[in-house]
Amino acid sequence: MFRPFVALFLFFCALGAQVGARAGELADKLGQPGYALLMRHALAPGIGDPAGFTVADCASQRNLNNEGRQQAVRTGQWLRQQGVTHAQVLSSPWCRCKETATLLGLGAVVTEPALGSFFDEPQRAREFTEGLQRRLALASSRKGNQALLLVTHHVNILDYMGANIGSGDMVLVQFDSQGKLLNAKRYPSPG
């Protein structure tokens, strides 16, 4: 009499173990409130932007090269292997960030001014970091169990968390209800 129930119980346990094996720590954390993945845009050779660039004109900016595009695609593949199959994706208005975010293939990309670079205006660091914190707090309160992924710049990540990361590297951040950093774990670019 108990045999069918035991078999059913074991079946559901095995199914749960398989689902758990597919979703890693990263996907588990990103499904919770108060977590997001910050990513520095993929490889765009050089430093800063050319003199006279405008955010509205991609041709005037420093952009991804072929290696950077491939890196972004591989990162999206790696994230899916970690169990992150869809995300709320926010990007800096800079073309190298929007292209990185699009090539990840994890969802529609929404441009977020608070993720823009302040490389040429370091005196605005506090303004941008506070904007990032507000955006994290707002997005976290609305994301449900969906992953939150923000593609931004070196200077933004450095000012927010106090650490340098390379092109295409990612940081899993845990933050409070005000968007202030509590904890961070770096993931190097898989490509």
10 part of a folded domain: no
Residues of the chain under the 50 pLDDT cut: 1-2, 4-22
pTM here is 0.87
CATH number of the domain within which 166 lies: 3.40.50.1240
Paired residues of 175 in beta bridges: 181
180 part of a folded domain: yes
CA distances from 109 to 1, 51, 112, 144, 165 (A): 54, 27, 9, 18, 22
Domain that holds residue 180: 24-187
**What is the Cα–Cα distance from 92 to 98, expressed in whole angstroms?**
7
pLDDT score recorded for residue 5: 41
Q: Total structural domains in the chain?
A: 1
63 part of a folded domain: yes
pLDDT score recorded for residue 188: 97
Q: Which residues does 36 contact at the CB level (< 8 Å), separation at least 6?
A: 30, 136, 139, 140, 148, 149, 150, 172, 173, 175
pLDDT score recorded for residue 31: 96
pLDDT score recorded for residue 23: 54
13 part of a folded domain: no
